[in-house]
Structure 1
């Protein structure tokens, strides 16, 4: 039986999109949040950093527990927590309390990282890339539409309105999970503390894991700083765009949505290494395009399309090869990949807060260029000693 017959992949992808949207609503809202709280230049960049820090915390301490507990119950509890956190953002009147609420929302935005590890263990190796690609198509759609709709909602109803919608949607997702996936019967019979303390030993065990974490971490950090910087750039002259117009730039993600399943098939056919090499080249091309043609809206759109496709395509390939290394440790392996990505993004976001008042948009672009070059270097530097199999 094909994976599409075992699971409602389209619906699961949509739920992943709704869940991951919480991490990206703010990217179109940063200028209006800054104005609402009268923040100094660049200070609002702490908002995405808090989201990433919250998610990073749950990736370290909560996601590995997926190898020990029923993942379906975890998904329900996380969805409830995300609903409460989004509602807290609606009510926050102080910027410090708002940052706490954003941290909590990031901590509870784990659904999109639990589900692929769960489902990938229930399908054959020949379908794993395709299934992950289908699920990530929904996740990429959530990233795309979150920027677009948060901008529209802010334009019509104020920037907090999207988080009220999110609170309702995540409550609905919590009720929906038991109807979509079976109870999780797989578990590792080890104490939680031992699993947490020893998860990083997987870095020593798998060369491919080290390479994937370095490659994806640097690329995702570049992705986050470019999108954060672009939001601030478009809000200033010569464009002075509002949140709805800034959010519309997120539509460049259509390329990654429509191609994610295709990228998964390419991974199944040719192996992840070749796919990641090509996608990293696309990311580099996009950053260079922004540096050279940053005064043209059309050129910015084309360049952001390249960056989005490159980073998300690499994400499909890296997740496919990492989750194939050891099925009994899928949650921990996935956690390490995501920890690397969001850890690098959080650190780069803090650097952006420092760079923006001094160097502005061009400082962000050269930071992103350096990160992409590091990603490509890590892919080609021989971090993988053993020859990878076609699935890795």
Structure 2
């Protein structure tokens, strides 16, 4: 039986998740300044976000299963300390190679955000697991939404190196709080860490519930990346011809998804994840249908994005609750498999967005995403 989190523990995990995952994105507004400072082409520095994503995916595979083996206070504190060290390495980098290596490590350590959600679900009080996971998901979403804004503002005020050191200091504060406040109980692991890693690939074969969760989540993350990349490209082209700032303002539509997450958790605890996933996918599909009708009216585009983001965010929180509930004692391993496949299929959505847009146009691309969401809604009921 897992010991419950102390009062305020879930909010602490949410804050840690948000500040950790923000490091994958906060440097993006500063990439031009970084390229100038290091005197390397922007195309090379443009690999920094890719390195962060690759590191994060590796962290999901190799580090997330550690939640089945280590006490939360030690695990989260150690990983946040490693994140601070990686950020310090990036802040002192004098060439692109060191910076890219540092961001591989930053991404891997930032996967603590997924560990935080897993810990919140596992150590929630009875009947509150969905709420705990959703609150951490809200913190994570806030970190993603605000990261570029905060990173850009700090870069303008302090320079990109000091900006990274500010985030390193936040990671160290989180490590201290984790070591002091998170549960110290080590979960009983029936197998060693190496055996746990070796057992990851067969989980998809032997766990039908995990396969359904993976398929459902992968479909909407594919649609999520497809819509956002294609939308950005479409708005930048004639007849819209919007600049980066104007396009970026549409990301504020994601605030609705952030605001909906606490409610999502309560609904998941009350009605079960399947009902919430289906409803969320239908909301996302409705938003996609609005977007597919055209992007000529800003309020209609914002409305479509708000429904789309809210549906995807809500479904992700409910689906993570479903994965954890399959086997709480092995939830770290199950979540690791889920997120690795989830991000891999999401990357596919990113890769095919431009070719699909060129071949089918915006409306055809939107209908492709709509089909994926409706299929996800159907699978979510199973």
Q: TM-score range by the shorter chain?
A: 0.7 to 0.9
1:239 is paired with a residue of what secondary structure?
A: coil
Distance 2:334 2:217 in 1: 14
Question: How has the CA–CA distance of structure 1 residues 26 and 298 changed in structure 2, closer, same or farther, with 3 Å as cutoff?
Answer: farther
- Report Cα offsets for 1:340-364 as digits up to 9, x if no partner: 2212223444445xx37x9579878
Question: How has the CA–CA distance of structure 1 residues 342 and 381 changed in structure 2, closer, same or farther, with 3 Å as cutoff?
Answer: closer
Question: How has the CA–CA distance of structure 1 residues 383 and 269 changed in structure 2, closer, same or farther, with 3 Å as cutoff?
Answer: closer
Aligned to 1:261: 262
- Give yes or no for the alignment of 1:206 onto 2:204: no
Distance 1:51 1:274 in 2: 34
Aligned to 1:388: none
Q: What's the offset of the Cα at 1:198?
A: 1.0
Of stretches 72-81 and 199-208 in structure 1, the one that deviates more from structure 2 is 199-208
1:200 is paired with a residue of what secondary structure?
A: helix
Q: What's the offset of the Cα at 1:126?
A: 1.4
Distance 2:6 2:95 in 1: 48
Q: What's the offset of the Cα at 1:247?
A: 5.2
Aligned to 2:306: 305
Distance 2:345 2:322 in 1: 20
- Report Cα offsets for 1:191-213 as digits up to 9, x if no partner: 22211111232223332211111
Question: How has the CA–CA distance of structure 1 residues 72 and 325 changed in structure 2, closer, same or farther, with 3 Å as cutoff?
Answer: same
Aligned to 2:243: 240
Distance 2:98 2:78 in 1: 23
- Give yes or no for the alignment of 1:376 onto 2:379: no
Contact 1:50 1:99 in 2 (8 A): yes
Q: What's the offset of the Cα at 1:125?
A: 4.1
Distance 1:24 1:364 in 2: 26
Q: RMSD between aligned alpha carbons?
A: 3.5
Aligned to 1:58: 59
Aligned to 2:102: 101
Question: How has the CA–CA distance of structure 1 residues 372 and 125 changed in structure 2, closer, same or farther, with 3 Å as cutoff?
Answer: farther
Alignment of 1:268-283 (within 5 A): 268-283=269-284
Contact 2:223 2:373 in 1 (8 A): no
Q: What's the offset of the Cα at 1:79?
A: 1.0
2:244 is paired with a residue of what secondary structure?
A: coil
Aligned to 2:196: 195
- Give yes or no for the alignment of 1:181 onto 2:207: no
Q: What's the offset of the Cα at 1:68?
A: 1.8
1:25 is paired with a residue of what secondary structure?
A: coil
Q: What's the offset of the Cα at 1:15?
A: 1.9
Contact 1:279 1:310 in 2 (8 A): yes
Contact 1:219 1:372 in 2 (8 A): no
Distance 2:258 2:150 in 1: 16
- Report Cα offsets for 1:241-296 as digits up to 9, x if no partner: 34xx6655443232122221211111122221121112122323333444433344
Gaps of 5+ in 2: none
Distance 2:165 2:227 in 1: 27
- Report 1 or 2 for greater relative contact order, CA contacts < 8 Å, sequence distance ≥ 6: 1
- Report Cα offsets for 1:25-45 as digits up to 9, x if no partner: 3565678778985446xx887
Aligned to 2:136: 135
Distance 1:231 1:153 in 2: 25
- Give yes or no for the alignment of 1:314 onto 2:315: yes
Distance 1:20 1:309 in 2: 19
Aligned to 1:387: none
Distance 2:201 2:276 in 1: 26
- Report Cα offsets for 1:292-313 as digits up to 9, x if no partner: 3334443333332222211110
Of stretches 17-26 and 209-218 in structure 1, the one that deviates more from structure 2 is 17-26
- Report Cα offsets for 1:220-256 as digits up to 9, x if no partner: 23334544565666677723234xx665544323212
Contact 2:220 2:376 in 1 (8 A): no
Question: How has the CA–CA distance of structure 1 residues 52 and 336 changed in structure 2, closer, same or farther, with 3 Å as cutoff?
Answer: same
Contact 2:216 2:380 in 1 (8 A): no
Distance 2:96 2:223 in 1: 26
Contact 2:35 2:45 in 1 (8 A): yes
Name the count of aligned residue pairs. 376
1:9 is paired with a residue of what secondary structure?
A: helix
Of stretches 206-215 and 160-169 in structure 1, the one that deviates more from structure 2 is 160-169
- Give yes or no for the alignment of 1:111 onto 2:94: no
Contact 1:28 1:246 in 2 (8 A): no
Question: How has the CA–CA distance of structure 1 residues 176 and 246 changed in structure 2, closer, same or farther, with 3 Å as cutoff?
Answer: farther
